[in-house]
Amino acid sequence: MARFFKKRTENRGLPPGSLVFIGTKKTERPTIDYLEYNEQSLEETELVKEEDLPRPSTDKMQWYNITGLDEVGFMAQIAQKLGIHPLAMEDVMNTGQRAKFVEFDDFVFITLKMLHLEEEQLRVITEQVSFILKDGALITFQEQAGDTFDPVRYRLRTSKGILRQSGSDYPTYALLDTIVDNYIYLIEGLREKIDELEFRVLEKQDQKIIEEINAYKRELHFILKVAKPFREAMLTILKSDTEMIKKKKILPYYKDLMDLVTHAIESAEAYRTVLSDYLQLYHSIVSNKMNDIMKVLTIFSAIFIPLSFFAGVYGTNFDYFPELHYKYSYYIFWGVIVLIALTMLLYFRRKKWL
């Protein structure tokens, strides 16, 4: 449940825009990775102090990647140095924030979740990522260091194409694309495990399979809780008139990203339906086996009812009882019992109850 909701008691009663970290600390200390580039050159620097942070300029494209959100003083200086609105910085530090897109006077703000799968525990974990698009500058915030953005960094170092020629809108698309691709890879990874469950359900029915099916359904529900708000944010981006995203040149890429998000959501919903079908199949097989068992027990009961009647009648303790002292009564009694049983078995077989 903690993945779905974050406690917000830390900022209770505080005015809007107050910087309070809501979440779990995931880094020992914040770090700043700074890239400055244009089509001809690229420079990378890891800054130790926030005081060394270059201010945004229009000469070259700048990418500030801040890792670690828990130090309030550090984040306040970042906001002041880079001109970030307090409401945007408040959302950056609230790691329970749902995906959103917000326009401010001189920048736009995007936040969403990255997903990772802990395969041993079969648990999807999240990391919040926030983007601030300024004129000539991109500012990203991550909870912890990771390799999700490495493909984009590699393209910046090795290519001089559209990524090096664009403003902050196309690099933002490229980074969002890696996150959404990871959604799809994660869902496809779950699909392979889900497909294996069908054979296990057919071969053997036990409580462990039920637990796994419910676990997969829970994780897919969590993925949908993350992906659906981002689809809403993408719709807002596509309808926005912000100048930070060049409509004719870059917007088609965001439309393609919207299609990927929709594909991820539809895949997750489809696999949840498959898991529901597995549950129905499991219960059907168990019910059929129980019906077979009950059928056999019922047949045995039906056979032994008349036999029990005869045994009860001739097991009474009356002194004067017909055939009680007849020499062959015992053998006749067993003959009648066997004949009744065989007759009923033949009748059940003719009726195809056996």
Boundary-marking domain end, from 231, 261, 284 = 284
CATH number of the domain that residue 344 is part of: 1.20.58.340
Judgement on whether residues 114 and 34 belong to the same structural domain of the protein:
yes
Which among 50-64, 92-106, 204-218, 324-338 has the top mean pLDDT?
92-106
Question: Per-residue pLDDT tens for 183-231?
Answer: 999 999 898 889 888 888 888 777 888 888 999 999 999 999 999 999 9
Which residue, 29, 9, 26, 33, is CA-closest to 71? 29
- 213 and 344 assigned to the same domain: no
pLDDT of residue 6: 58
Question: Do 32 and 165 reside in the same domain of the chain?
Answer: yes
| Entry field: residues in the chain | 354
Number of domains within the chain = 2
- Asked if the structure places residue 253 within a domain, the reply is yes
Task: Tell me whether residue 46 is in a domain.
Answer: yes
126, 151: one domain: yes
Range of the domain at 315: 297-350
CATH classification of the domain holding 176: 3.30.460.20
pLDDT band at residue 307 under the 50/70/90 scheme? confident
Q: What is the pLDDT of residues 116-131, one digit of tens each?
A: 888 878 889 899 999 9
State pLDDT tens for residues 225-249: 999 999 999 999 999 888 888 777 8
Residue with tokens 């039920």: 210
**Any residues with CB less than 8 A from the CB of 18 and at least 6 apart, and which?**
11, 86, 90
Statement to judge: residues 346 and 280 lie in one domain: no
Cα distances (Å, whole numbers) of residue 82 to 56, 138, 192, 337? 7, 10, 45, 98
Residue that finishes a domain, picked among 234, 259, 284: 284
Predicted TM-score (pTM) of this structure: 0.80
Domain-located, residue 290 = no
The C-alpha atoms of residue 6 and residue 128 are separated, in whole angstroms, by 12
